[in-house]
């Protein structure tokens, strides 16, 4: 049985990690926003919109049919730009 102190410590550490991840995501979005705007402005054929809608469909399917493999959290600031390649 865990003690109250260990539960509080574990909860605090988990919350601190999630807070840091949240701040990291906000920073990455702020930094990559100009790149996203340029990419969307240069997308003449609508390729990005098609890829984003396909990704949304895949995400919806993965919620109904959970996959055995999970994506790992990437520390790369450009991991959110994978759809631009």
Is the pLDDT at 70 greater than 60? The verdict is: no
Mean residue pLDDT across the chain: 80
Asked if residue 71 has pLDDT above 60, the reply is no
**Where is pLDDT greater, at 59 or 66?**
59
pTM of the model as a whole: 0.50
pLDDT tops 80 at residue 37: yes
Window from 16-20, 32-36, 57-61 with minimum mean pLDDT: 57-61
- Distances in whole angstroms, Cα of residue 44 to Cα of each of 36, 37, 38, 39: 14, 13, 12, 10
């Amino acid at each position: 049985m865990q003690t109250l102190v260990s539960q509080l410590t574990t909860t605090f550490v988990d919350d601190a990690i999630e807070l840091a991840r949240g701040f990291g995501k906000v920073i990455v979005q702020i930094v990559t926003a100009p790149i996203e705007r340029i990419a969307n402005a240069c997308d003449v054929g609508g390729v990005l919109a098609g890829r984003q809608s396909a990704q949304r469909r895949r995400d919806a399917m993965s919620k109904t049919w959970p996959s055995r493999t999970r994506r790992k959290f990437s520390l790369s600031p450009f991991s959110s730009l994978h759809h631009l390649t």
